[in-house]
Chains A and B, each alone.
Chain A
Amino acid sequence: MRYNRLALYAMLGIAALMILAPVFIMVSTSLKSMDEIRDGSIFALPAEPNFDAWGEAWFGDCTQTVGEDCGGLSSSFLTSVKIVIPALFLSVGLGAVTGYALAAWKMRGANLMFAALLVGMFIPPQVTLYPLIIMVRELGIFGSIPGLVLVHVIWGVAFTTMMFRNFFKTVPQDLLKAARIDGAGFWPLFWHVMLPLSLPILGVAMILQFTYIWNDFLLGLTFGGRSGQPMTVALNNLVGSQFGEKEYNVDMAATMLTALPTLAVYLLSGRLFVRGIAAGAVKG
């Protein structure tokens, strides 16, 4: 029996090490110099850890490029923040209201509409990409942050609506009836009864939407243009297009910088993330 327990922990430990190894390699490579990377193993700890590569990944290397842009990630970090904040609040807000209307107000066709929305979550974004480009271009916001916010709201609303609709369906109908008999209209019922009830699910939706929007690549690549490049797109460009010798320490520092916001949200939120990720997994 004791050997069984030992084997159990050994297997879990090995699995945990295999998951953590690439993360460890990323951090440790980012703290090394290029000489050390060339001479040593990827598993070796940095001999003289320093943040030079982090500085270069963030600010860029202005000695190598011409013009104002030095190739650092700092400007695209700001772009990502400017995209995420409005897109997050708009998509979660719209999902909350839509989910509430579908779940709490009996309407003909509500189930049909929910089904249509649910199917929408599975549509690969590539399928509607070109018409979406035309629409955003016609609106005159192609290649700008408002354009990206709009497409993120469009792509996020199915997921957020599903989260809220499924939650509001579990609210006892008697509670809703009582509120309606008291004369509560659509908005008072939402603000004073339903929204306070839904705080946990609101948290889950916010965390997941933050992660999805921050981690998006395809929409940022397509709709961002030059001025609206989010961090994932900038990272991919940085890694893909270095002149001369590749600087792996800078690549890894840039990767770390891109991953940090969502990593931090994950580690701080714990349970909420786990609760939501299963429901939202279809988004990929």
Chain B
Amino acid sequence: MAEPAQGALKTSHDGRWRWRPQWTARMALIPAMTITIVCFYGFIIWTFVISLTRSRLLPVYKFTGFDQYVRLFANERWWTAMQNIAIHGFLFIGGCIVFGYLLAILIDRGVKAEGMFRTVFMLPLSMSFIVTGVIWQWVMNPGLGLQDAVRELGWTTFEFNWIVRQDRSIYTLAIAGIWQQVGLCMALFLAGLRNVDPNIWKASRVDGIPVWRVYLHVITPMMRTVFFTVFILMSAIVMKAYDLVVALTGGGPGFSSDLPAKFVVDHILNRQELGLGAAGAFVLLCTVIAVISPYIHFELRKARDGGGH
């Protein structure tokens, strides 16, 4: 044990040149390292450079300073998209946390067929955002969908036509999104609840504290890190939200349910406004960094403290 690496490092002592396994390990990192440096960070810089040019259809390296950002912030559609991401983020993340936590608590109360409930709640997670969007577009179809079905039951003034209303279409994104992601939040919260020291429950039973108060005042504060993780994970989904908007509302009616991720893709791929799209992408990236940097810091500290040996 005293000199553990002797076997592997013997080579240099007898002076003969021999290939060391450490070098193989370094070489094995080359593909992933190339991807990280070039395709992640290099391409971020490239996108930033493009955002400083007046590129339209193709990249043209004629620099115009921050003109594209000025145009971006003067762009009405961009502001609609930014406002929408705030509304959608608030509703979607809030809904996922509230419903996910409630479901986890219900399951944690010790029900029979727990496995079945868990399988059902997580079922939508296996489907793509495109599938989710197409299903909900049909469910919310004002002519033949939910509105029509409820009216046929006798409630003839029932209205649920949000998907075609400028002022409501953004809310439909949250409905479909929560439906898809609530199972993940439930699973994360449930794992947290299962880690709670059972003695807490014994003590509270002895003291005769009602169950709901134990959850509210004792368990919930203990679950801080789980709430934090869920918040970050759901934020990451909101920032990247593209597929769901495309499949559910197409960003419409008009641009009423547009999101920044869709704005960026549209301007880069379809509208021949490469520079403007790149500027939007870079602003989006800055938003992501602002939200996730506490999480990365937290994860790395955990990896250093817990993953060490």
Taken together as a complex, chains A and B put the C-alpha atoms of A267 and B116 apart, in Å, by 11
Query: B22 and A107: CB pair below 8 A?
Result: yes
Given contacts A15-B121, A181-B4, contact A235 B134 (CB under 8 A): yes
Q: Which positions 118-177 of chain B face chain A at CB distance < 8 Å?
A: 118-131, 134-139, 141, 144-146, 148-149, 152-153
CB-CB contacts below 8 Å: A1-45 with B: 8-9, 11-12, 15-16, 18-23, 25-26, 29, 37-38, 41-43
Main secondary structure of the interface of A (DSSP, over half): helix
Q: Is B5 an interface residue (CB 8 A)?
A: yes
Query: Chain A residues near B21 (CB, 8 Å)?
Result: 105, 180, 185-186, 189
Q: Does B299 touch A at the CB level, under 8 Å?
A: yes
Cβ-based interface call for A229 (8 A): no
Provide 21 A-B residue pairs closer than 8 Å at the C-beta atoms, listed in order of the A residue. Answer: A18-B179, A22-B179, A25-B135, A41-B149, A42-B145, A100-B28, A101-B28, A107-B26, A107-B29, A116-B37, A122-B292, A170-B307, A217-B130, A218-B242, A236-B134, A236-B246, A255-B131, A258-B128, A258-B130, A263-B123, A265-B126
Q: How far is the CA of A101 from the CA of B240 in the complex (A)?
A: 30
- Supposing A12-B111, A281-B233, A284-B237 touch, asked if A232 and B4 sit within 8 A by C-beta, the answer is no
CA distance A232 to B133 in the complex (A): 11
Residue of A whose beta carbon sits closest to that of B247: A236
**Contacts of A129-145 to chain B: CB distance below 8 A:** 129-132, 134-135
CB distance from B86 to the nearest CB of A (A): 17
A126 within 8 A of partner (CB): yes
Residue B281 CB within 8 A of the other chain: yes
Docked complex Cα distance between A236 and B129 (Å)? 11
A154 at the binding interface (Cβ < 8 Å) = yes
* Contact code string B33-76 (vs A, CB < 8 Å = 1, else 0): 10111011111101100100000000100000000000000000
B261: chain A residues within 8 A (beta carbon): 124, 126
- Check A123/B25 contact, CB under 8 A, given A16-B121, A262-B127, A278-B187: no
Interface check A182, CB cutoff 8 A? yes
Q: A128-B44, A131-B46 are in contact. Are A235 and B130 (CB under 8 A)?
A: yes
Question: Shortest Cβ distance from B43 into chain A, in angstroms?
Answer: 4
B35 touches A277 (CB 8 A): no
Inter-chain contacts of B265 with A (CB < 8 A):
126, 129, 218, 222
| C-alpha spacing A185/B278, complex, angstroms | 46
Check if B214 is an interface residue, CB within 8 A of chain A. no
Nearest first, the 9 closest Cβ-Cβ pairs linking A and B are A215-B128, A266-B126, A105-B25, A186-B24, A128-B43, A131-B43, A41-B149, A181-B7, A98-B32
Taking a contact as CB atoms under 8 Å apart, the answer to whether A248 and B138 are in contact is yes
**A binding-site residues for B, Cβ under 8 Å:** 8-9, 11-12, 15-16, 18-23, 25-26, 29, 37-38, 41-43, 94-95, 97-98, 100-102, 104-105, 107, 111, 113-120, 122-132, 134-135, 153-154, 157-158, 161, 166, 169-170, 173, 177, 180-183, 185-187, 189, 211, 214-218, 222, 232, 235-236, 239-240, 248, 251-252, 255, 258-259, 262-263, 265-267, 270, 273-274, 277-278, 281-282, 284
**Nearest Cβ on chain A to B185's Cβ, whole angstroms:** 9
What residues on B are CB-neighbors of A29 within 8 Å? 138
Q: List chain A residues, Cβ under 8 A from B46.
A: 128, 130-131
Q: A169-B307, A217-B246, A262-B126 are in contact. List 12 more A-B contacts (CB 8 A).
A: A19-B121, A22-B135, A41-B152, A117-B32, A124-B261, A126-B242, A131-B42, A135-B39, A154-B35, A154-B39, A239-B247, A273-B126
How near does chain B come to A22, taking the closest CB pair, in angstroms? 5
Partner of B149, one of A43, A265, A266: A43
| B288-A123 in contact (CB<8A) | yes
With the chains together, A117 CA to B37 CA distance in Å? 9
Residues in chain B near residue A166, CB distance under 8 A: 303, 307
Contact A42 B146 (CB under 8 A): yes
Residues of B close to A114: CB separation below 8 A: 303
Question: Interface of chain B, helix or strand or loop or mixed?
Answer: helix
CB <8 Å contact, A19 and B179:
yes
- Distance from B212 Cβ to chain A, minimum over Cβ atoms (Å): 11
B219 within 8 A of A: no
Which B-chain residue is minimally distant from A43 (CB atoms)?
Answer: B149
Complex CA gap A20/B119 in Å reads: 11
Which of the residues B6, B117, B240 comes within 8 Å of A181, measured between beta carbons? B6
CB-CB nearest in chain B for A98: B32
B304 interface residue per 8 A CB criterion: yes
B240 touching A107 by the CB < 8 A rule?
A: no
* Nearest-Cβ distance from residue A24 to partner chain B, whole angstroms: 10
CA distance A248 to B109 in the complex (A): 41
How many angstroms between the C-alpha atoms of A38 and B39 in the bound complex? Answer: 50
Of A12, A107, A263, which is in contact with the most chain B CB atoms at under 10 Å from its CB?
Answer: A12
Which residue of the partner chain, among A157, A236, A263, contacts B32 with CB atoms under 8 Å?
A157
Q: Please give, as numbers and ranges, the residues of chain B lying within 8 Å of A11 by CB-CB distance.
A: 106
Taking CB atoms, residues of chain A closer than 8 Å to B188 are 278
